[in-house]
Amino acid sequence: MRTFLQIKIYRGKFMAYTGFVVFIGLALGALTCAVLLDQWVENARNEATSAFNRTENELQYDTDRIEAYMQRIYSNSGLIEDVRFFLGNSAEGYLTSRLRNSHYDQTLTSFPDDMKSFLSNGGLGDITQVSLHTEGQGNVIGFDSNGTASFRFLVPDSDETFRETIRKGFVYRKKLLDPNQISRQLGEFRFLISSERIFDTVQNYRLQTAAAISASGDVYLIAGGSGGTEELVRRAAAEGRSRGYLRAGSMDRVFFATFHSTEFDYQFVSIVDLAALIRQKASVLLAVVLIVLAAMASVLLLIVYNLREDANFLRRIIQSIGRVKTANFTPVTPARYRKNEYGMIARELDDMIHQLDKHIRTEYLLKLKQQETEMKALQHQINPHFLYNTLEVIRSFALADRSADTADAIATLGALYREIVKNENIIPIGSELALLQKYLKIMEWKYPDRFYYQLNVDEALLSLPTVKFWMQPIAENFFVHGFDPESEFNLLVVSGSEAEDRFVLEFLDNGRSISAERLAEIRRNLLREDAASDSIGLRNVNTRLRFFYGKGFSMEIANNEEAGVKISVILSKEALGLVQASDCG
């Protein structure tokens, strides 16, 4: 997979396919989650619809019972008479009126007992209070959970007992008319249907948050609820829509559904907190996400499988071209080729590399041998020249009867030549400096107390590979052209330093300078490969070093500001990187 992504064209295709697959996968996943969330919200709304219908059915049942009881009152003259005694009287007045109008031959009818008996057949529990009102006051019959009745007489309408709030229940009003004169209203019945008992019937429904809200804004929480729920219920009721979404905070949203009662003036409101719903259904959503991820991974694996083979052949082609550019013709394991254009190109490139390898072995190696022969010829030019000059120095020692210096010079020359005639032609710069130091030692004996030298080369340069015996001709150039035998202080300094991208070796002396015309001519000859030269010194060194280091080598010659000449040899680090470390021997 890693090598597959290294190919730019297929990396781009793979990234494009990946982006497309991820986009489609995320879109499908989001759409699936949205559909599921919408379905869950719709299920919650259906539950709320069922709960509201159940509430309405309970209220309808209670109102039907009340209507049936009102018919019972009008159809029973004794009962209606007792109701009239109960209406507007105190307890004593009610009992006195009943006894005064009773007949020994008739059963005494009691309106409260009859109501309790009637309600116990199905309505007891929901209806917790019945009041019979005249102007400004009313008599109240209350029923507890066991059906036990309690009475209060002549209670003002302003009393808390008659304050209508949905927290207490629903008030169902019925006018009490005079049976003998239908247009005459005797009073008003008010039946209180308990909210708690009505809404207890919907507790088994799966409601996250539900509430009832009256027209005045009173809220009765049926299920769920926390801080701020009542405000949300009021906002949902005020929307005027049967369903919708509300923002509950900076990020949270809730779904609401409202239902208007046909019997009573209230709304049933269901609220679904989407965040809580998502947490509740997290396992289902996680399964959807995993399925989407598995599908995306499968599609991506299929894409990789289809593209990998062609990518491998393209990589093989790129590698083949790279091998040709770096002249690496090492045989590689043959690839299994597919019957397509990539396979044909890869096969042809392998054949081309094989043919190039043959050609290079016959042509390039011949040129390499020729270059090696030229370098050896240049080396052979220097060796006799150096030997003649050194023997001339030793001869002058012998003529001057300097036997000790003669012996030391011969020993040093012998040691020097043992190093020169060794088979290795490539040595570290440190070894080349050692050869130079032996030569300078001989010259120090030749010019005692008149010649001095210093070697200041950074340690980083000592292990760099170089060709053998090229520093001595540069030093000899100083003795031939710049040395002043009459001067008591002739100095040669060899320094070496490392820069950011190159190494620099400098040979500085304090001898005679070079004229501008001669300096320009020397520079031109060094730059021209076919230039003729009457000297085997600098030209020889420049040619040998250029053979070895290639274009990463340069030589600069300039006059010092005060006196003498500076010769700089510059080696780029890039060129040195191409030289095999094993060539250092």
Q: Counting Cβ atoms within 10 Å, is residue 409 exposed (0-12), middle (13-18) or buried (19+)?
A: buried
* Residue scoring higher pLDDT (547 or 323): 547
Residue 210 has pLDDT above 80, yes or no: yes
- Say how far apart CA 515 and CA 100 lie, in whole Å: 160
* Average pLDDT estimate for 577-583: 55
Identify whether the C-beta of residue 472 lies closer than 8 Å to the C-beta of residue 509: no
Kindly report which listed range (106-110, 156-160, 218-222, 417-421) carries the lowest average pLDDT score: 417-421
Q: What Å distances lie between residue 76 and 109, 163, 241, CA to CA?
A: 10, 31, 47
* Strand extents, DSSP E, 362-501: 426-428, 451-457, 465-467, 490-498
Burial 374-394 (b: 16+ CB within 10 A, else e): ebeebbeebeebbeebbeebb
Residue 530 has pLDDT above 60, yes or no: no
pLDDT of residue 481: 86
Residue 544 has pLDDT above 60, yes or no: yes
* Residue 483 placed within a domain: yes
Residue 188 has pLDDT above 90, yes or no: yes
Q: Which helix (H) or strand (E) holds 83?
A: helix 77-86
* Average pLDDT estimate for 134-149: 85
Residue 92 has pLDDT above 50, yes or no: yes
Q: What Å distances lie between residue 520 and 441, 525, 553, 565, CA to CA?
A: 32, 9, 20, 14
Q: What Å distances lie between residue 354 and 210, 277, 317, 327, 333, CA to CA?
A: 84, 70, 14, 12, 13
Identify whether the C-beta of residue 210 lies closer than 8 Å to the C-beta of residue 202: yes
Q: What is the Cα 34 distance to its own chain's centre?
A: 25
pLDDT of residue 561: 85
Per-chain mean pLDDT for the chain: 82
* Average pLDDT estimate for 371-399: 61
Q: Is this structure's pTM higher than 0.75?
A: no
pLDDT of residue 522: 86
* Residue 308 placed within a domain: no
pLDDT of residue 97: 85
- Taking only the tens place, the pLDDT of each residue in 472-523 is 889 888 888 888 888 889 999 999 999 888 999 999 999 899 888 988 888 8
pLDDT of residue 407: 78
For residue 559, give the CATH number of its domain: 3.30.565.10
* Residue 477 placed within a domain: yes
pLDDT of residue 355: 74
* Residue scoring higher pLDDT (452 or 409): 452
Express as a percent the part of the chain with pLDDT over 90: 23
Kindly report which listed range (12-16, 237-241, 471-475, 557-561) carries the lowest average pLDDT score: 12-16
Question: Under 8 Å CB-to-CB from 234, ≥6 apart: which residues?
Answer: 213, 217, 219
Rounded to the nearest 10 degrees, what angle do helices 429-446 and 403-420 cross at? 160
**Pairing between strand 253-260 and 266-273?**
antiparallel
- Say how far apart CA 300 and CA 212 lie, in whole Å: 53
Kindly report which listed range (53-57, 147-151, 233-237) carries the lowest average pLDDT score: 147-151
Q: Which residue has the tokens 């040395």?
A: 483
pLDDT of residue 414: 75
* Average pLDDT estimate for 223-229: 80
* Residue 571 placed within a domain: yes
* Residue 58 placed within a domain: no
Q: Cα Rg for the chain, rounded, in angstroms?
A: 58
pLDDT of residue 360: 64
Best CA proximity match to 117, nearest among 78, 96, 143: 143
CA-based torsion, 379, 384, 389, 395: positive or negative: positive
pLDDT of residue 363: 55
The three-state DSSP-derived secondary structure of 150-189 is EEEEEEECCCHHHCCCCCCEEEEEEEEEECCEEEEEEEEE
Residue 286 has pLDDT above 80, yes or no: yes
* Residue 488 placed within a domain: yes
Tally of domains in the chain: 1
Residue 422 has pLDDT above 80, yes or no: no
Kindly report which listed range (114-123, 138-147, 167-176, 300-309) carries the lowest average pLDDT score: 114-123
Residue 373 has pLDDT above 60, yes or no: no
- Say how far apart CA 460 and CA 455 lie, in whole Å: 14
Residue 275 has pLDDT above 80, yes or no: yes
pLDDT of residue 52: 93
- Say how far apart CA 211 and CA 220 lie, in whole Å: 5
- Say how far apart CA 454 and CA 458 lie, in whole Å: 13
Residue 580 has pLDDT above 50, yes or no: no
Q: Which helix (H) or strand (E) holds 191?
A: strand 181-194
Amino acid identity of residue 191, one-letter, is F
Kindly report which listed range (28-32, 126-130, 328-332) carries the lowest average pLDDT score: 328-332
* Strand extents, DSSP E, 195-308: 209-214, 219-223, 243-247, 253-260, 266-273
Strand order in the sheet with 243-247: 219-223, 209-214, 266-273, 253-260, 243-247
* Residue 96 placed within a domain: no
* Residue scoring higher pLDDT (580 or 306): 306
Q: Which helix (H) or strand (E) holds 438?
A: helix 429-446
Residue 153 has pLDDT above 70, yes or no: yes
Question: Which residue range forms the structural domain that includes residue 552?
Answer: 360-584
Kindly report which listed range (55-69, 182-196, 312-326) carries the lowest average pLDDT score: 312-326
* Average pLDDT estimate for 113-126: 72
pLDDT-based confidence at 421, cuts 50/70/90?
low
pLDDT of residue 531: 47
* Average pLDDT estimate for 534-547: 75
Residue 374 has pLDDT above 60, yes or no: no
* Residue 316 placed within a domain: no
Q: What Å distances lie between residue 403 and 41, 354, 410, CA to CA?
A: 117, 66, 10
